[in-house]
């Protein structure tokens, strides 16, 4: 790894001084102790439009004990020229065909030697100071570190119809399997490497839900999550991202995230504890109900009272799955539309 670095203070300021030759200043953590070894893996395929920004966001962390691995699956765009430019500052660059994103990450993990690990996709980026914040936050009882994640579109702007910030909250194997009120955003999650391997690692046979599958198995064994308000990464929504392509499909039967989730649940229900298997079976019934509530909330031209009454009646068709704080919240949001702000009065 090249010795040309930038200070964590410069990164924290929000600038991107990628080309500055600045002497490192590491006052954010106790530099008299050995800094935690961190592995970052970037899987990439034909993301030349964003790849350089991703690479620079990792190298620009100026974290001395970083292992950075980029795995390119045989790109045919400008990715090769970008990798040539930065290869001397990246620990390992793998350029060969793969079977998809999870397979590419697995190839990187075969070379990984860090204590902590995450993957940053080649259309996303790390936010300034993230690796230093990780080193500061993790303790002996931390199994998983969870940061916030900002959202941008292809042009670097906050998306018009989406949230500009994603949060990791209420993370546990139970809440995820039950489809309780939890949220997760993979770019903001950091795993202990030994725990990752103990839980079986990433399933290379999965292409769309491997992060959800990994997180459930991981938390089933290692449940202690440390949450940080630091914005650790940027997740990019653009026309070619898997999230946008699949979630835009009106027919849920064509959504490959949903198709793969059914297969994942089948595997988990046969391998996890009876209690978690039961939670997953409940989650299968709760997921369509949660989707139903979202659809009703999006019907802005409908009477809020009528919509709330309709949901209230539907609850009793399957109360075990449908009575939840999320349901209470959805009905409350509908009825709150009748409360006018004070400045309207």
Are residues 238 and 308 part of one domain? no
Are residues 204 and 318 part of one domain? no
In whole angstroms, give the CA distance from residue 86 to residue 55. 8
User: What is the residue whose two structure tokens read 């199994």?
Assistant: 143
Given this model, what pLDDT does residue 160 score?
66
Given this model, what pLDDT does residue 6 score?
40
In whole angstroms, give the CA distance from residue 126 to residue 189. 12
User: Of 224, 245, 266, which residue is a domain's last?
Assistant: 245
Asked if residue 262 is part of any domain, the answer here is no
What does the pLDDT look like over 141-192, one tens digit per residue?
999 999 999 999 888 888 766 678 999 999 999 999 999 999 999 999 999 9
User: What is the residue whose two structure tokens read 């939670």?
Assistant: 279
Asked if residue 341 is part of any domain, the answer here is yes
Asked if residue 54 is part of any domain, the answer here is yes
**Which run of H or E residues covers position 234?**
strand 225-236
pTM of the model: 0.86
Other Cβ atoms less than 10 A from the Cβ of 36: the count is: 16
**Count of structural domains, the chain:** 2
Are residues 239 and 313 part of one domain? no
In whole angstroms, give the CA distance from residue 156 to residue 134. 25
Are residues 310 and 194 part of one domain? no
CATH number for the domain spanning 196: value is 3.90.550.10
Cα distance between the two ends of the chain: 63
Are residues 332 and 222 part of one domain? no
| pLDDT surpassing 60 at residue 282 | yes
- Which among 313, 315, 287, 311 is positioned nearest to 299, based on CA atoms? 311
Whether the CB-CB separation of 168 and 188 falls below 8 Å is answered with yes
- What range does the domain containing 105 cover? 8-245
In whole angstroms, give the CA distance from residue 44 to residue 177. 29
Are residues 103 and 189 part of one domain? yes
User: What is the residue whose two structure tokens read 């994603």?
Assistant: 166
Query: If you average pLDDT over residues 215-243, what whole number do you get?
Result: 89
Asked if residue 253 is part of any domain, the answer here is no
Asked if residue 273 is part of any domain, the answer here is no
Whether the CB-CB separation of 112 and 190 falls below 8 Å is answered with no
Are residues 306 and 218 part of one domain? no
């Amino acid at each position: 790894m090249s010795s040309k670095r930038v200070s964590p203070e410069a990164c924290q300021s929000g600038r991107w001084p990628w080309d500055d030759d600045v002497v490192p200043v590491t006052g954010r953590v106790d530099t008299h102790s050995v800094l935690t070894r961190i592995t970052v893996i970037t899987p990439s395929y034909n993301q030349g439009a964003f790849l350089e920004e991703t690479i620079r966001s990792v190298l620009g962390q100026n974290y001395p004990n970083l292992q950075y691995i980029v795995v390119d699956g045989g790109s045919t765009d400008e990715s090769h020229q970008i990798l040539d430019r930065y290869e001397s500052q990246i620990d390992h660059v793998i350029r060969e065909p793969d079977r998809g994103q999870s397979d590419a990450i697995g190839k990187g993990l075969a070379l990984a030697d860090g204590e902590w690990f995450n993957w940053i996709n080649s259309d996303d980026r790390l936010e300034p100071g993230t690796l230093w914040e990780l080193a500061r936050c993790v303790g002996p009882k931390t199994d998983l570190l969870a940061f916030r994640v900002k959202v941008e579109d292809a042009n670097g702007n906050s998306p018009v119809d989406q949230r500009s910030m994603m949060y990791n909250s209420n993370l546990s194997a139970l809440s995820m399997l039950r489809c309780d009120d939890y949220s997760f955003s993979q770019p903001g999650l950091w795993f202990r490497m030994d725990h990752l391997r103990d839980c079986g690692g990433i399933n290379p046979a999965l292409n769309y839900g491997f992060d959800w599958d990994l997180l459930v198995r991981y938390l089933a064994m290692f449940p202690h999550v440390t949450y940080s308000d630091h914005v650790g990464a940027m997740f990019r929504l653009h026309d070619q991202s898997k999230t946008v392509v699949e979630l835009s499909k009106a027919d849920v039967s064509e959504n490959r995230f949903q198709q793969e989730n059914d297969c994942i649940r089948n595997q988990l229900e046969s391998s996890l504890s009876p209690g978690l298997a039961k939670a997953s079976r409940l989650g299968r019934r709760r997921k369509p109900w949660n989707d139903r509530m979202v659809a009703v909330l999006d019907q802005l031209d409908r009477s809020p009272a009528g919509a709330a009454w309709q949901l209230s009646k539907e609850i009793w068709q399957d109360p075990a799955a449908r009575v939840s704080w999320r349901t209470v919240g959805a009905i409350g949001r509908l009825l709150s539309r009748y409360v006018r702000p004070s400045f309207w009065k």
